[in-house]
Amino acid sequence: MAGMHALHKIIANRTRPSLAKVSPGEFVEIEPDVFGVIVGVNASDVKRLAADLEELGIDRIPLRDRIYAVADHASPAPTVAIAGAQKAFREFFKAHGIRTFDGGAGVSHLVLCEEGLVRPGMLGIAIDSHAPTMGAIGMYACSLGGGRLTLYAIGRYVIEVPKVTLVRVTGTLPPGVAGRDASLYVNGKLGQRGAYNHAVEFAGSFIESLSMDMRFTFTNMGTEMGAVASYIQPDRTTLEWVRQRTSEPFTVFETDADYVYDTVHEVDVSGIGPQIAVPHAPDDVRPVDEVAGRKVDQAYIGSCASGRLEDMAETARVLKGRKVHPDVRLIVTPGSREVLKAATELGYIQVMHEANAIVTSANCGACPGLHGGILGPGDVAITSITRNFEGRMGPGGEIYLASPATVAASAIAGCITNPLAA
């Protein structure tokens, strides 16, 4: 009998009724360890949810102790309508005893990891397409693909056990080239369907050398490859990071030696330079030099892809002693309050202020195109957000994806610039 992948063992551990083994293609009912939800922006959503639960006779949500709500989209509220919706959501969560994080806590899947609410070996479902980011700590994390009513009502959900694609990344980056550059390069090699409907495991000597900040960047990118979940096998780096945040027990599952991956990709990042994804696809990736000189109106650093402390450090390094071009708006939105506090204590935020950057509270910001730096028609933006689909940051905008260092260097120059040449 063929062996199992660690992700399949995690799924089997949460099946109800419990199964000793699961196989790709099976549909199984699971009870998640954590259900991450968003303080929404549409009041009709929460009204419908409350009405559905009432119709079903459910007044006590079974997962209430495992549900965590985070106000990360459009927070603080930019319109009266969104403010009303968020108020209704908060009242619903409070009435049902669901813990709700305030609007400055940060992006939901980063907050859940930093707070130690998710841990290696867990299975989590979240209402956000980039929930697979949490796989950096060695858990199965997927976004909610259908209705959420079954999770609220009975605490169960049906998922399809995915095949697993292995992406083995090797090599060493030249000085000044960042982990985000490598993730863009990998995305360009595999494309938007490179792990379509699969789970994707990132491994190899390069991944093993990464900090946790950059591991989150890689697992975040799995979504842009079509993956339902991303995963990095826990090692000493992972365990040290997790144990700084929780004393709760957890289980590290290992992939069996005889497990056969559905697909294996080998990517060597040795010698690559700064990378950039051009409009309107996150996998249309090229060396920055190919589009250098393109005038930009806005530079934006943040999101769950590149809003970590290491990203703030890179931004401050490039900005130190310099000023943002007068024709450019540079907006920096840290991914979480933990990042914002640390960046403040280390002096990074002061450097940004002195460079005339706009620093916001921690949230999703302009990434989902709701507030905090929406583009006007014809605006050109260089940014470190998750994706650059047409209209992502506002209708008629043009989005280039790059590392924080490239974004900062471009903000100073007023046009797309290779940070190694700046």
90-127 in b/e form (b: 16+ CB < 10 A) is: bebbeebebebbebbbbbbbbbbbbbbbbbbbbbbbbb
* Per-residue pLDDT at 1: 59
Residue 31: its pLDDT value, please?
97
- CA distances (Å), 40 to each of 49, 87, 107, 142, 401, in order? 12, 9, 13, 19, 26
**Which CATH number belongs to the domain containing residue 82 in this structure?**
3.30.499.10
Nearest to 58 by CA among 159, 158, 150, 157: 150
Work out the angle at residue 72's Cα, subtended by the Cα atoms of residues 70 and 73, and round it to the nearest 5 degrees. 125
User: Quick one: pLDDT at residue 147?
Assistant: 74
pTM: 0.96
Same domain for 160 and 291: no
Domain co-membership, 237 together with 158: yes
Q: Which ranges constitute the DSSP H helices of 133-253?
A: 149-154, 179-190, 205-209, 212-221, 236-243
Same-domain check for residues 78 and 206: yes
Of the residues 233, 263, 293, which one is the last residue of a structural domain? 263
Give yes or no: residues 372 and 286 share one domain: yes
CB-CB contact of 373 with 364 (8 Å): no
DSSP state of 416: -
In a domain, 3, yes or no: no
* Residue 209, in any domain of the structure: yes
- Per-residue pLDDT reduced to its tens digit, 16-62: 999 999 999 999 999 999 999 999 999 999 999 999 999 999 999 99
DSSP per residue, 3-20? ---HHHHHHHHTBSS--S
Amino acid at 184: L
What confidence tens digit (pLDDT) does each residue in 360-405 have? 999 999 999 999 999 999 999 999 999 999 999 999 999 999 999 9
User: Are 209 and 302 in the same domain?
Assistant: no
Report residue 363: phi and psi, to 5°. -175, -175
236 and 336 in a single domain? The answer is no
Same domain, 303 and 250: no
Distance CA 417, CA 294 (A): 8
| Same structural domain, 136 and 44 | yes
Task: Dihedral sign for Cα 206, 211, 213, 215, please.
Answer: positive
Ranges of the chain whose pLDDT falls below 50 = none
- Identity of the amino acid at 402: A
